[in-house]
Structure 1
């Protein structure tokens, strides 16, 4: 008797406290693009957690989910999915996993057949014939004005940037800027105290390099690549440099060549004189350029 009572009690316990998982598919045959509904329900939940695939990821690949809603109460769980299929054929919804309070449950599998309801030879007619509308200039302007304005703005920005870059380059290469930069280079040379230390070779090498770079940019003479004799000839033919400045450049450059090849050894007074005369030449260069502009009529 006790045994029978225990069995009955166990069965009642299972019936009263077990969860019931159910699923339902509203249509097993769908037209292309027709909306179908798949529903999963769990009753007698007793407040347990339900874990399943994330929203819009429960059904297989071919099922395009358009709505996936989940509602859960203490004793009941509902998940309703609306879907469409856009290919003809038979497609399976497999047994889906639902974990309830840590225990794994499965829905039953389904097969869905998708058919094309359009018949061969059916004629598709427009509801209304297309109406031709003639467009004038104002209509085209309204349609494309923002594109046109955008292009004009881009072109204006490109022009402004070009002018800024061009002006910046012109400013950097202007006679006044070049003169000031060369005077700074000469002052830096003097700070190295080559004159005081009697290092005449280093002094003349750097002095002539500074002078060549200055003449190349200030007078547009290729002084940085010409030999001294050739440079003197070009200066005299070019007439861009005044005779006084030509004389200074010629004397200092020739003396620098002699120092370079150890054919002469200038003293401190000579180096001081050459430094000051080259500095004077740089300062007077703007007058040479003004005279050259007057001669060429610029």
Structure 2
């Protein structure tokens, strides 16, 4: 009898222990729940998704940030979180703007370091508009009369852009034009020719008695100078024709014409080996040509006064 009584007491203790353990689990565990107000939504219609956690016991709740809990196709309109010591509530209003079936997956919520999951939901989004439905504006379009100020406000940036572009093109044109004028100016041409003459001297044709090379280069430099400085085609004319053009043109003073004529005629004689100038003559022709180049600006000044330019 005593043995049977002891066995019955032991069984009752085990039953009470199991019941106590189960009640303890329910009493001290957290409960995660979620609800969806509609399983079918019209395009753009708002739906409400609620998550609640009870029996928190002051534990932290970690989940996705606001407006980032639902998947891509769900446009979250409002995401509100209310957390108290023993309860957590999160309400999300959302809309979907494409037809089809979409799923709210099981969402992770970490409660006191442990991960819990909501149940998944499937939502169908339908287009409730019927073919042939007439769409009316809430208000009729209103005509507005625009004046000059209104057009200016609308197109001022385009106008200013065009004006700036035109000004830039004009500035570039003037710079290029000025640069060309500077390069072809009498002073620039005179200085360049004087430099060419100094280069010729450094070749020591005069000192070495190489009269043929000396006169060939001296006349080439002179022809190029006359062509650019006086606008006379000296680079293509024969010596006799060039002399006639200079006399008819009157752009070169008589004194300078004499220098050019003497040197060019002597150069032709040297070229065809009809004369053999000495060092003194070459020195004189070189200095006379330098003098002619330096005095050319006065010729041009006189020509401008004569023509009234």
Q: Normalized against structure 1, the TM-score is what?
A: 0.64
User: Structure 2 unaligned runs (5+)?
Assistant: 1-9, 11-16
CA shift digits 1:110-129 (9 cap, x unpaired): 43322223344433333333
User: Is 1:186 the counterpart of 2:197 in the alignment?
Assistant: yes
Aligned pair count reads 291
Deviation at 1:276, TM superposition (A): 1.3
Answer with 274-283 or 174-183: which moved more: 174-183
Deviation at 1:174, TM superposition (A): 1.9
Structure-2 residue corresponding to 1:233: 241
The 3-state SS of whatever aligns with 2:174 is helix
Answer with 129-138 or 38-47: which moved more: 38-47
Aligned residue among 112, 118, 122 for 1:111: 122
The answer as to whether partners of 2:206 and 2:282 remain within 8 angstroms in 1 is no
User: Is 1:214 the counterpart of 2:225 in the alignment?
Assistant: yes
Structure-1 residue corresponding to 2:301: 290
The 3-state SS of whatever aligns with 1:131 is coil
Aligned residue among 32, 36, 39 for 1:28: 39
The answer as to whether partners of 1:22 and 1:107 remain within 8 angstroms in 2 is yes
Shift in alpha-carbon separation, 1:99–1:270, aligned structure 2, 3 A: farther
Shift in alpha-carbon separation, 1:253–1:196, aligned structure 2, 3 A: closer
Q: Normalized against structure 2, the TM-score is what?
A: 0.62
The 3-state SS of whatever aligns with 1:211 is helix
Structure-2 residue corresponding to 1:198: 208
Deviation at 1:145, TM superposition (A): 4.8
Answer with 202-211 or 103-112: which moved more: 103-112
The answer as to whether partners of 2:98 and 2:125 remain within 8 angstroms in 1 is yes
Of structures 1 and 2, the larger Rg is shown by: 2
Deviation at 1:197, TM superposition (A): 5.0
Structure-1 residue corresponding to 2:287: 276
The answer as to whether partners of 2:183 and 2:189 remain within 8 angstroms in 1 is yes
Shift in alpha-carbon separation, 1:113–1:293, aligned structure 2, 3 A: same
CA shift digits 1:73-130 (9 cap, x unpaired): 9x99999876543222223445678999999987654433222233444333333333
Supply the distance in 2 between the matched residues of 1:140 and 1:246 (Cα, whole angstroms): 67
Supply the distance in 2 between the matched residues of 1:107 and 1:165 (Cα, whole angstroms): 76
The 3-state SS of whatever aligns with 1:279 is helix
The 3-state SS of whatever aligns with 2:238 is helix
Supply the distance in 2 between the matched residues of 1:143 and 1:90 (Cα, whole angstroms): 45
The answer as to whether partners of 1:194 and 1:202 remain within 8 angstroms in 2 is no
User: Structure 1 unaligned runs (5+)?
Assistant: none
Aligned residue among 144, 151, 169 for 1:158: 169
